[in-house]
A and B are shown apart, each in its own frame.
Chain A
Amino acid sequence: MTPPNRARRLLLHPLLWTALLFLALPWTAGSDPFHGQWSGFVGIATTMVIFALFASGFNLLFGHVGELSFGHAMFFTLGAYATALYANGFNVTVLGAVLAHGKGDNMLVALALSLLLALLWAWLLARIIIPRSSGIYFSMITLAFAQIVFFTTYRWSDLTGGEDGLQNVARPTLFGADVLRDSDHFYWFAALCVFVALCVLYWILASPFGSVLHAIRENKQRARFLGYDVDKYRVNAFVLSAVFPAIAGWLWTYFQQAINPDAGSVEYSGNVVMMSLLGGMQTFMGPLLGASVYYELQNEVSQATKYWEAWIGVVFVVFVLAGPRGIMGIIDDVRTNGVAAILRNPFKREEPVEPTFDEALKPLDESPAVSETGVR
């Protein structure tokens, strides 16, 4: 392999662009750290990175396995409530037994509980849902299960605080230092956590396991007849795709310092679908860009009109019609066809014969020449 090729691959590496995006986000949304206008707006950037992780986890299933879950907010909300309950403590009676816990301030314990809860629930659902359904039925069943979680958080007031949720969650300390109370610090903390989680996600997608997921997305029957236990892969993918939203929920609770049932609502489940489509569902960067653009739009448009959701809907429709492969698809088109060709005929384009930007997602084995010098 020639060095320029390797340099090019490194330059196009999605994780590099993810890091650059996260470094740039605090400068978006009207914030200007160079002139002291930082703290008021950095909250939007924090929301962006947390939802970038939520959407990316969801998209593991949606974009890479080809199964649309309409209930992924359930894992987000489970992670968020586990964190809030651990941090604030609780005292409830279940079937005559008293369950109680004092306040907790170890954020790693909160993370472990969030992951455990989401993993158990996802594994249980996967075992029930996966062998029995795919396609539209899969979407409907995930929606139904998400509603179970939503109404539990909404109705079980003794534990969850009902409609008001849980308030006054203390920000965790970092090695004993109370630095995360500051919004700027919290942004960098969240961005780092999300980046680490995304590195793991990238590794999963670029591994042989990830390529089997793509095979299943493209052709379940063929994958089966090659000898792949397709349902086992779908179960594993489902569970993995629950992990990342739970981590996002953990960050969300600490960021908001409160949580209410909305976090598990259909609206949240729908938002990550929109973010993935907006950014480009079959790419790694897509959901990240989608989440960023979504909140940037929300911020800009909501200052101009209270009907901002309708305008975002319009943007969404235009994207689905003109750029079904999302922002990443547009970037690809510009790189292959040039801007002029796209402006001439925005609604009809040839897809590139060879994969382009996505190629960075297949780092090791595109051809043997590449695999010899694999970066991993």
Chain B
Amino acid sequence: MSAPAPAVPVPAAGTGYIFKTSGLTRRFSGFTAVNDVSIEIPEGGVRTIIGPNGAGKTTFFNLLSGLLPPSEGRMWFRDREITGLPAYQRARLGIARSFQITNIFGRLTVYENVRLAVQAVHDGKANFFLPTARMGKLAERTERVLHDIGLWDARDTRAENLSHGDQRRLEIGLVIARDPPVLLLDEPLAGMSPTETHETVELITRISPGRTILLVEHDIDVVMTISTTITVFQTGGVLAVGTPTEIRANEAVQRAYLGEIA
């Protein structure tokens, strides 16, 4: 079963990159979190961003997803400029993100959480009362997503009563519900037990074909295993880009970042 047709046409692939930024900068009263970043992130694969705390990884995510406006610079999603676009419109284009701190509808059931994410695809086209016929399709897709994230059995539980790992998984479910071409996952493994980490990595691997996944993650073993390329951020700028092997061999990166851990 395929996802429902999106209400807003998603820019077609073909530019070769999923995101392009030009001179992207974000300052917070005197502190520059992201400093003049001009990069192209290639289409497809798992594109991981690593870097020490305060390197600007999350701010970069916030700029791409529209949570924060940039102080300077521009950005493109495929061939479409998205610099001034509000967050909800970026979401409709197919830019889906999860947050570092779990961000779900706590007092609604797991089922309602996912159904709302599925329903959002039709928002703008039928924003008021959907025809009853469509409820069946929404239900089908919702059921599918719940099975994908392994929370079907917990569907009638209030989301706030799930374990931390299940809440993180539910958030991934919200993110993949509209079958978006690009996912921004901000530390999806934070605070997880080894078992939960294992399951979630498996989930991310399973949903990655046909999409681009932008990942901010601290678990260096996982990063080295699942990444197609790694972009290393340091003090608001890009220090290096390369395959896991290249990054592991990069002296500047070792000095700046890996050296602290390995």
A contact set with B: CB distance below 8 Å: 207-209, 211-212, 214-215, 218-219, 221-230, 232-233, 236, 353-355, 362, 364-368, 371-372, 374, 376
Contact = CB atoms under 8 A, between A and B. Distances in A.
Contact of A225 (B91, B129, B135): B91
B87 A225 contact: yes
Interface of B: 65, 67, 86-89, 91-92, 96-97, 103-109, 111-112, 115-117, 119-121, 123-124, 127-130, 132, 135-136, 138-140, 142-143, 155-158, 161, 174, 177-178
Name the 6 nearest CB pairs between A and B, nearest first: A227-B91, A368-B139, A218-B105, A226-B120, A227-B120, A227-B92
A195 B115 CA distance: 30
A208 B119 contact: yes
Contact of B135 (A223, A355, A365): A365
Given A223-B116, A226-B174, A229-B124, 10 more contacts: A207-B129, A208-B129, A208-B130, A218-B105, A225-B87, A227-B120, A228-B88, A229-B88, A367-B111, A371-B135
A376 B194 CA distance: 46
Contacts of A208: 119, 129-130, 135, 138
Q: Is the interface of A mostly helix, strand, loop or mixed?
A: helix
B119 A211 contact: yes
B112 A211 contact: yes
Contacts of A214: 105, 108, 112
A364 B120 contact: no
A208 B116 CA distance: 8
A229 B123 contact: yes
Nearest to A371: B139
B157 to A, nearest CB: 6
A365 B111 CA distance: 9
B123 A227 contact: yes
A365 B136 CA distance: 9
Nearest to A206: B129
Contacts of A355: 109, 158
A123 B97 CA distance: 33
B127 A209 contact: yes
Nearest to B92: A227
B88 A354 contact: no
A227 B119 CA distance: 10
B87 A224 contact: yes
Which of B96, B119, B157, B178 counts the most chain A CB atoms within 10 A? B119
